[in-house]
Structure 1
Amino acid sequence: MDHPEISAGWLSRLFYHWTGPLQRKGLTEPQVGLDDLYPLLPEDRRDGRADAFLQLTATQPVRPWPITAFIWRHYKGRIGLLTLLQLLGMLATLASPWLLNHSMTQLGAGAPTEQKLLLAFALFASVLAAGMLAEHSLQLALKMHVPIRRLLAEALLAKVMKLGGKSFDDRAGGRVQNLINRDVWDITWILADPAMPLTMALQLLGTIALLVWQVGSAGLVGFAVLTLLLLISTRVVRRMNQQEQQLKRQQDERNGILAEYIKKLRLVRQNGLGAFFTRAANAKRQQELGVLGRVLKLDAINDSLMLSTPLLVTLATFTTYLVSGQSLTLPQVFTTIALFAVLRIPMMRLPYLIRTLINFNTGFNRLCEFLNSPEQHRDLTDASLPVGSLRVDAVTALHQQKPVLQGASLIIQPGELVGITGPTGSGKSCLLHLIAGFDDSFEGEIRRHGRVAHLGHKPWLMNDTIRNNILFGQPWHGERYRWVLGACALGADLGLLSHGDQTLVGELGTRLSGGQQQRVALARALYAQADILLLDNPLSALDPIVSAQVLEQGLAFKPGPTRLLVSHDPDVLAHCDRVIRIEQGRLVELDARQLADLIQHPLPAPMVAPQEAEQFSEEKVVEGKVDWGLFGFMWQRLAAPGAILIALLLTLGQEGLRIASDLWLGGKAGLTEVSSLLGIYVLLGAGSLVCIMVVRVINYKLGLKLAWTLFDGMLSRISRAPMAFFDKVPQGRILNRFDRDLGEAQEILLSMLMGLFGMLISVLLQVVVIGVNMPLLLLIAPLVGWALYVLQRRYRAVQLKLRRQASVLRSPLYISISETIRGAPALRLAGAERFALDQVLLHYDNNLRSWYTTTSINRWLGMHQTLLSAVLVGAVALMVAFGNSSLLGAVAITYAFTASAMLNSLIRTFAEVEQVMNAVERVREYSEIESERQHGEALATSHPGVRFDNLGLRYPEASQWALHKVNFELAPGEKVGVCGRTGAGKSSLLGVLQAMYPASQGEIYYGDQPLSRLAPEAVRDLYDTVSQTPLTFFGSLRANLAPLTEQDDEALELALARVGLAERCAGRLDEDLDKLQLSAGETQLLVIARILLSRRPLIVLDEATSDLDHGGMRKMAELLYRYRPEASYLVIAHHLEPLLSVDKVVVMEAGTVVEQGSPVSLLANSHSRFHQLFVGQVNRQVAQIN
């Protein structure tokens, strides 16, 4: 839709009446949707300036000044107009106190009526002009945020595309999130409004000049006190900024831990390590709160300084004036009070400005540091080569100072299908990464010509539909698309999915099986018609039938592109034109005899059941007004009623003493006796200062307590939420709650509530003072009250809904940024950087639309509050002009100024509190989600074996049984294998066994004790699990070896020695695991070492050998069976090899057990299901057994 501001008339633009339809919708509709947000204005959308800016930031090194100059040069017209409006607004603001003084000195009983009316109108006009200019200049500055923030965000994302690979992991991605969501914001405030420091300084100087005009040199004393307080405040703010930078780093680390925890949650629970992760997150949170406490303490000191500044400056000024032997007149008193009220605004903004400037500098340095990061990308293209050809010449690649590839050379002709094989950890994946350009840390030369596609063992998919993942931003070609689906055997899968190729794949493709992920990624590469395909074990998760189809139609077709295919499977290697084996870092081409002598490997495993996962739930947008029960939720979390009551009473006392000091000084105007005048005034002022300081200390203490209880409450629930919750809720949505929502709830809300109460008390007391002394003014109170009610009703209704919508829009942005960071190498290789950037920027634009819509509604409120304030001041001025009491008139007109301004802030702050309560609402939602039981029966015996008794499972809303009447036993020390074809129920069996999902019928017994009576965490503590994806995590090698128990160095080193990692990890127990850079095979061995140190009675091997070669499979089994003979083993496998070493095999089909017995006897029986399942391998394996 078109932006309504474009077609609006001048009056509508002046007062923002063009926002009316949205306001009415906010009053009548339950929620505001994405389509209701205003689109970006044409001048704020992407244009040629973005390309020029990307070119600027692509140069090295990137520095702040060229970026600043670029933005100011391209937006100089807007900046010039903004500066002019701010200067005019400053003059109008300074005119109001001068007119106030003039009205009190010139207006009296004998003044001409025309003069009285003219001055009243002048006061009305000055207030109206100052407010309107302030609102329009602010809106213009905020409009500048849109294109600037977009430019900076796009530059950061473009840089990400040039990094990726080893430059990022899940935790480093938190740094990019912070850069885009926080640092860009800090930078933009100054870039969009460079005149703000100048106009604020001019307003300060102008106010000081008027003070000198009123009270002479005493005004300079006040200015000196003001400067001293400002210097102290600056020092406090600088110290606070240092702490905030440390706080950001702590938040980055905490968010990284949470991101890793949530991403790996299924693996974490399978290994019974939930307690480790929650303990680590809580420990990091405690460190964070230590820094946050220092920030809040410094903030309390600074707030106390700023709030006491007007009082201290007034006290210093009046004391100096009286000590000099002069008497204060009534106009002097209240004009000076009005001037200090004007001074209070820039003074309260000044620490924020200083803080903004410091954040601007810090954020800019962080931005430039990131943009100057070295780019791990070497251009390997050689156009002199034929398209599809590849040359590897004397390439040496080091890993931990040891060569993985050493002098490797290879020449591949266009269209060849070349197999790459070798033992686990020999460098096969490394070779493909180097050819793809993911890593440029090698010696030698790699040259290629043509488009390249890389299919990793764990392929990267976008959180989008299957179709969009295949198209990957390319145009639709129906015939090619249908061929690709057939070549990758996806037709049958799409037929089983209710949404077909419009099915969302979820984050990282988690809603598809491993085989489906591989085939969708392969389909993407084939659809792109790449000239060179780099395929890392692409058939490992496919069953024999599907594997053969994909091999024939999708990989081995001729003529075809150049293909490098990593595999251990001899049937796959037999289709290759050539086979290269990596031996001691060198590439050796095998002849026919060597190929025939390769150790025979079992065929790849059947894929996980191709069942349709549930669509992710849409994030709920809460409807209606704020639930006031949220305050009860906050009250419970704080659990400090006495402190809250004291803070409220002291706030009341602070405002009361402040007003009493004004009235006392005004009532004693004309007296020259300093002691009689200042004694009470100083006492009242000192009492107000004490109240301010105590309230800030209480606020600091409560804020720190709230920060911990909110985090702890949410984490404890999330960590115990059932797996069904995580099946429906994406990772980005959860992280959004722990980041933005928790931050607002803990850092903003309490200070807002205290400020709101203080403003409410101030307004009420001023109205009472005016009403008692000048009852005639109360005649306009109903009119003012009605106008305020209408304004706040319309404003609050729409703003609350906008805030809720904004909270929902943040999650897709978090998800898309994280997704792009992880997929940067694949996107760069596919030439899809622009496509991915546009996808992220679409979400970013939606957030900017939400933000701009909110600011427009704010300006509508500000304009109408300005109009109301001007009318109120004008009406009061008229009544004062025709009244008789100079004191009461001075009080009334001065408080009309301050009360009207306070009313404006009151409505806005009340609405902001409601909006921030939306964050509390979202935190409460995740603090009250359904959770698993924390307590249950204690284990009766140590290791009695496991028995599945008539076990059944039906997933929620599913019509079919995933498991039905499953019966078998796992005796102490016994090894039982579980196998079956697609959809057999193996994963569901493991899910119930490890307390991921509750059984729908039957029971699993541990001895005679039903597992359902134990707490889920206690059940998971019975198992160690080795899965296809080995679980490692943040922290040291020591923590990864013994996360739950204390182990001495000798035990740890013995475990490493037993798995063959002693030399590799010698003396590095306390080194961060990331720095070790273990290969996939070494990581699997590390997990085995962890299990050797454990004493848990049950060990589950869930596809544990799919990443290993033949020797690796045998080594893993031998290690476990030798050093953990007392354990019972449940081996879930698709390979035949690991099933041959178990005592008993359980064959499943359609969720039931159809066969069980000795693997040897079942293999020998040609009619057995087990024999038929592995019919392609039986003869070879029986020969090996014999």
Structure 2
Amino acid sequence: MQRIEAYLEEEEVPDWACSLKASKTNDDTTLSIVENRIGFENGTTFEWDKSANSTQTEVTSSRFRLVDLDISFPVGKLSLVAGRTGSGKTALLSALLGELHCITGKVHIDKRDHHIAYCGQAPWLEHATIKENILYGCSYDQDRYEQVLDVCALERDLLILPAGDQTEIGEKGVTLSGGQRARIALARAVYSRAECLLLDDPLAAVDMHTANHIYDLCISGDLLKGRTVILVTHHIALCATNASYLVELSNGYISHQGTIEDLRAAGHLGHIAEEQSRPSVERSSSTAISTPVNEADGVDVKEKGTKTPKEPNGKLVHAEARREGRLFRAMLFRLCRAPIRFFDVTPLGRVLNRFVTDFGTIDGALNDSVRRTLAGILTFVSSFGVIVVLVPSFLPAALFIAYLYVRLAPAFILASRDLRRLELTSLSPTFASFDELLHGLAHVRAFAMEARYQDQFYKKVDRFQSYDHVYWLLAIWMRWRYDCLGSVVVFCATLFTLWAGVESGYAAVIIVQAGVFAEASRQLIKVTAQLELDFNSVDRVAEYLDVPEEAPLIIPDRRPPAYWPSNTGGLSVENLVMRYADDLPPVLKDLSFDIKPSEKIAVVGRTGSGRLRGLAILGCGIDRSPIGKSTLALSLLRMIEPVGGRIVLDGLDIGTMGLEDLRTRIQTIVSQDVSLFSGSIRSNLDPFDEHDDQECWDVLKRCHLVGGSEGNGRITSLDTQISQRGSLSAGERQLVALARAVLRRSQVVIMDEATSAIDLQLDEMVQRTIREELSEALVITIAHRLRTIIDYDRVMVLGSEGRILEFDEPGKLLANPEGVFTEMCRQSADWEELKATVTSKSR
């Protein structure tokens, strides 16, 4: 109760931010609903709540804030929000949505009647079909729906998907590429009837061709004409053509704001576009990003210092409760060894239900049921024996009554067992729905859909409770019948006692034992049935003990030598064929190429076709069909085992060695969706304590997470605490992952859209860091920003059929005017600069 009370006393968002509490007569002093006005006034200041972080740490005065905001976005027009990575752009949108704590000033926005639509930087999607995600509770208008698919560049993706827009995507959209998730989330906002759209950098996750398509036909198109659009973006040069207003943020403050014409006349617009798109030549890479953003998205900062954590960070999975339970450890180990496809087709709620409900039953109720069953057998036998010894003539009647007890038992056991299974099955969607809601709560509140999710959750809870209610009605049905039989037992025992002339003292014992016999019979049947029900949890857990495993971690006779892989060894892919399931077509077909030692390779292709994770619903599973770029990265890590062909690294076939040797000794992957752990920066950089503090701090400097002098950057110490979700901006999270890769010094580094969420200037600085820090490593970069990879050694262009279309040096590819890569570059806004870069490199 104390934990529940503490939770209920947590700080909440203001009433106007939640449609369940908002009223038409607003009495919140932080909100002013004024017609045709959106923005902030009176020097509004916001900060992230302490409760927003999962870690409880001391917070200093350097908590990140949005300070002195006075902005009035033009209604019915397009406004841009620009700024460096971590400057507070996402926080600005969160402030408009009421997700940040307002210290001073007022917010002008109308969230009534579904006035707002929101597309977050980390797109959130429901576990539903693509069509249901786009409609999101709105009525279906075929013409409008088809127009939205066209302007959001989704039509080609839907043609590849076997079920089209009826394809069901996985939880949180895990079975889609980052670009597809971003475009579906954008389509949801565009399809809505909201008058104001808050779009948090939807162009960052797509290639330049797709970005031009979306901007020209969607953001500047008819569907958004007359609607207020506030767009966070790094593509200022592209988006400023039709924008009316621009706000540039720096470290939580407004550095420039005004209409596009005013900023252009004052010379600020060119400067802002230059800052967003070009690297700084006047500042060194070590000091270019040194403005102190200690908590750009809610980072809790402890006192300055670089102390080594007191507790070891090696245990990434720590099961404190039941750590001695062999069954629990066996299931946990099995799930940790399960292939990634298992988690694609298995809802998270089902896994949580096994760990929470089923293990709760095994640890508690099952032990109690066994104890009560043994006690019931002993009581039944002893009472039956006493009665038979004192009144032998009662034996036939006792056997007949026992037969009646047993006769009634099967009906109860069968019905209660099925009800219990239905009850446990109905609980899994409840867990999954709650987890899904937690991840997308900001989106739900932005769309004012709380009532919808509340009703859905209530329905799932009601379904669960209905099975529980029927189970107890069934128990009452059985108890009433057994009580009647108990009365018959006592009556018959008394009658036989009087007929046999038993002494009064023994007669009292017989009558008492008859009551005990009746109750013991009822309890024995009940606890036996409960024991069978509890063993359902054991069966459900045992199912997960048969989950397919990945290849062995260690193969003793196939371990690579200690020096493997060396920096003189290359990578060779020979006739590689990949598929996600036996009944699906190949994703990569006869792929063959060679990469030289220490070579830097870029892999490009259209968003959604080169990296498409197509789905087909077969039963309850989610299957993937043709992708390309990300599949290639997964194959190098053996997350997916090849159907044919092989991958040879430094002379050894990676398919013949253990996964631990492969993944820990040679390869590091930095993905678009970065996974961080709640804890300190140091524990995220070096979870196994393999490096000292100075090495960790130096790598933060080289990856532009801190300034040139210790304590002057966006992180003050290695003890700076971050949370699993929400503490850092998406760009900062990617920089932490990059720092982790640089610290490991792996010989093979795979970067899967690893810089998509950071600004263009910082992206080029990061690419320079990669070339310098990983000069001896073989680097494979999957990217859609062509200007950041144009000076790579070679570029691989993958097509939608899983085949290599082109693979050569950038200069040679551009020399072919009819080439695919040339066409991609020509459609980019940086076409002239790309040509100049290739020309200068060839010299």
Shared fold (TM-score greater than 0.5)? yes
Instruction: Determine the structure 1 residue equivalent to 2:286.
Output: none
**Aligned-partner Cα distance in 2 for 1:707–1:747:** 15
Q: SS in structure 1 opposite 2:203?
A: coil
Amino acid at match of 1:942: P
**Contact 1:422–1:582 under 8 Å retained in 2:** yes
Instruction: Determine the structure 2 residue equivalent to 1:1182.
Output: 835
**Contact 2:79–2:229 under 8 Å retained in 1:** yes
**Match runs of 1:22-61 below 5 Å:** none
**Aligned-partner Cα distance in 2 for 1:1125–1:885:** 101
Q: CA deviation at 1:1184?
A: 4.5
**Aligned-partner Cα distance in 2 for 1:1153–1:1093:** 32
Unpaired stretches in structure 2, ≥5 consecutive residues: 18-25, 49-60, 258-262, 279-320, 611-627
Deviation sequence 1:955-974 (CA, Å, 0-9, x none): 31445321112122233322
Amino acid at match of 1:980: G
Deviation sequence 1:854-874 (CA, Å, 0-9, x none): 111111111111111111111
Amino acid at match of 2:832: N
Instruction: Determine the structure 1 residue equivalent to 2:605.
Output: 980
Instruction: Determine the structure 2 residue equivalent to 1:538.
Output: 202
**Aligned-partner Cα distance in 2 for 1:1173–1:893:** 94
**Match runs of 1:240-279 below 5 Å:** none
Q: Does residue 938 in structure 1 map to residue 559 in structure 2?
A: yes
**Aligned-partner Cα distance in 2 for 1:1094–1:384:** 52
**Aligned-partner Cα distance in 2 for 1:705–1:1085:** 36
Judged with a 3 Å threshold, the aligned counterparts in structure 2 of structure 1 residues 1031 and 384 are, in CA distance, closer, same or farther, namely closer
Q: CA deviation at 1:482?
A: 4.1
Q: SS in structure 2 opposite 1:386?
A: coil
Judged with a 3 Å threshold, the aligned counterparts in structure 2 of structure 1 residues 968 and 487 are, in CA distance, closer, same or farther, namely closer
Q: CA deviation at 1:714?
A: 0.3
Q: CA deviation at 1:534?
A: 0.9
Among candidates 236, 254, 262, match of residue 586 of structure 1: 254
Q: Does residue 952 in structure 1 map to residue 577 in structure 2?
A: yes
Instruction: Determine the structure 1 residue equivalent to 2:215.
Output: 551
Q: SS in structure 2 opposite 1:968?
A: strand
**Contact 2:572–2:649 under 8 Å retained in 1:** yes
**Aligned-partner Cα distance in 2 for 1:816–1:945:** 46
Q: Which has the higher contact order (CA 8 A, sep 6+)?
A: 2
Amino acid at match of 1:552: D
Q: Does residue 456 in structure 1 map to residue 120 in structure 2?
A: yes
**Aligned-partner Cα distance in 2 for 1:494–1:972:** 39
**Contact 1:950–1:1003 under 8 Å retained in 2:** yes
Instruction: Determine the structure 2 residue equivalent to 1:439.
Output: 100
Amino acid at match of 2:660: E
**Match runs of 1:367-382 below 5 Å:** 367-377=4-14, 379=16
**Contact 1:388–1:561 under 8 Å retained in 2:** no
Q: SS in structure 2 opposite 1:1038?
A: helix
**Match runs of 1:595-606 below 5 Å:** 595-596=269-270, 598-599=273-274
**Aligned-partner Cα distance in 1 for 2:167–2:737:** 35
Deviation sequence 1:769-823 (CA, Å, 0-9, x none): 3223322111113322321222111011111111111111111000111122222
Q: CA deviation at 1:369?
A: 3.2
Q: Does residue 863 in structure 1 map to residue 531 in structure 2?
A: no
Q: Does residue 970 in structure 1 map to residue 595 in structure 2?
A: yes
Among candidates 199, 214, 231, match of residue 565 of structure 1: 231
**Aligned-partner Cα distance in 1 for 2:547–2:471:** 30
Q: CA deviation at 1:725?
A: 0.8
Which has the larger strand fraction?
A: 2
**Contact 2:196–2:229 under 8 Å retained in 1:** yes
**Contact 1:454–1:826 under 8 Å retained in 2:** yes
Amino acid at match of 2:636: L
Among candidates 524, 532, 539, match of residue 921 of structure 1: 539
Q: CA deviation at 1:949?
A: 1.3
Q: CA deviation at 1:401?
A: 1.7
**Contact 2:790–2:834 under 8 Å retained in 1:** no
Q: CA deviation at 1:392?
A: 4.6
Which has the larger helix fraction?
A: 1
Instruction: Determine the structure 2 residue equivalent to 1:1056.
Output: 700
Amino acid at match of 2:83: G
**Contact 1:1028–1:1102 under 8 Å retained in 2:** yes
**Aligned-partner Cα distance in 2 for 1:529–1:705:** 51
Q: SS in structure 1 opposite 2:440?
A: helix
**Contact 1:378–1:440 under 8 Å retained in 2:** no
**Aligned-partner Cα distance in 2 for 1:1146–1:479:** 38
**Aligned-partner Cα distance in 1 for 2:636–2:354:** 31
Instruction: Determine the structure 2 residue equivalent to 1:903.
Output: 521
Instruction: Determine the structure 2 residue equivalent to 1:1011.
Output: 654
**Match runs of 1:725-736 below 5 Å:** 725-736=342-353
Judged with a 3 Å threshold, the aligned counterparts in structure 2 of structure 1 residues 1167 and 503 are, in CA distance, closer, same or farther, namely closer
Instruction: Determine the structure 1 residue equivalent to 2:313.
Output: none
Q: SS in structure 1 opposite 2:205?
A: coil
Instruction: Determine the structure 2 residue equivalent to 1:1158.
Output: 809
**Contact 1:436–1:534 under 8 Å retained in 2:** no
Q: CA deviation at 1:404?
A: 5.1
**Aligned-partner Cα distance in 2 for 1:1067–1:514:** 31
**Contact 1:706–1:746 under 8 Å retained in 2:** no
Amino acid at match of 2:524: L
Judged with a 3 Å threshold, the aligned counterparts in structure 2 of structure 1 residues 602 and 957 are, in CA distance, closer, same or farther, namely farther
Q: SS in structure 2 opposite 1:599?
A: helix
Amino acid at match of 2:587: A
**Match runs of 1:321-336 below 5 Å:** none
Larger radius of gyration: 1
Q: Indicate the RMSD between aligned Cα atoms, in angstroms.
A: 2.6
**Contact 1:707–1:746 under 8 Å retained in 2:** no
Instruction: Determine the structure 2 residue equivalent to 1:488.
Output: 152
Q: CA deviation at 1:1065?
A: 7.0
Q: Does residue 1037 in structure 1 map to residue 681 in structure 2?
A: yes
Judged with a 3 Å threshold, the aligned counterparts in structure 2 of structure 1 residues 820 and 903 are, in CA distance, closer, same or farther, namely same
Judged with a 3 Å threshold, the aligned counterparts in structure 2 of structure 1 residues 522 and 1082 are, in CA distance, closer, same or farther, namely closer
**Aligned-partner Cα distance in 2 for 1:554–1:1147:** 27
Q: Does residue 1024 in structure 1 map to residue 668 in structure 2?
A: yes
**Aligned-partner Cα distance in 2 for 1:1036–1:541:** 28
**Aligned-partner Cα distance in 2 for 1:389–1:1033:** 36
Instruction: Determine the structure 1 residue equivalent to 2:54.
Output: none
**Aligned-partner Cα distance in 2 for 1:489–1:1053:** 43
**Aligned-partner Cα distance in 1 for 2:344–2:744:** 30
| TM-score (ref. length: structure 1) | 0.58
**Contact 2:731–2:757 under 8 Å retained in 1:** yes
**Match runs of 1:351-750 below 5 Å:** 363=1, 365-377=2-14, 379=16, 385-387=34-36, 389-398=38-47, 401=62, 405-449=66-110, 451-557=115-221, 559-569=225-235, 570-583=237-250, 585-589=253-257, 590-591=263-264, 593-596=267-270, 598-599=273-274, 708-750=325-367
Amino acid at match of 1:534: L
**Contact 1:388–1:531 under 8 Å retained in 2:** no
Deviation sequence 1:582-619 (CA, Å, 0-9, x none): 2452141331654345239789xxxxxxxxxxxxxxxx
**Aligned-partner Cα distance in 1 for 2:764–2:322:** 54
Q: CA deviation at 1:479?
A: 4.6
Amino acid at match of 2:595: L
Instruction: Determine the structure 1 residue equivalent to 2:640.
Output: 997
Judged with a 3 Å threshold, the aligned counterparts in structure 2 of structure 1 residues 478 and 1162 are, in CA distance, closer, same or farther, namely closer
**Aligned-partner Cα distance in 1 for 2:403–2:816:** 90
Amino acid at match of 1:532: C
Amino acid at match of 1:864: R
Q: Does residue 912 in structure 1 map to residue 553 in structure 2?
A: no
Q: CA deviation at 1:494?
A: 3.5
**Contact 2:78–2:244 under 8 Å retained in 1:** yes
Among candidates 724, 727, 730, match of residue 1077 of structure 1: 727
The 10-residue stretch of structure 1 (936-945 or 800-809) with the greater mean CA deviation from structure 2: 936-945
**Aligned-partner Cα distance in 1 for 2:391–2:360:** 46
**Contact 2:41–2:107 under 8 Å retained in 1:** yes
Deviation sequence 1:335-389 (CA, Å, 0-9, x none): xxxxxxxxxxxxxxxxxxxxxxxxxxxx2x4434333322122648867633464
Amino acid at match of 1:437: G
Judged with a 3 Å threshold, the aligned counterparts in structure 2 of structure 1 residues 508 and 401 are, in CA distance, closer, same or farther, namely same
Q: CA deviation at 1:548?
A: 3.4
Judged with a 3 Å threshold, the aligned counterparts in structure 2 of structure 1 residues 461 and 871 are, in CA distance, closer, same or farther, namely same
Amino acid at match of 2:792: V
**Contact 2:391–2:500 under 8 Å retained in 1:** no
**Aligned-partner Cα distance in 2 for 1:482–1:1003:** 43
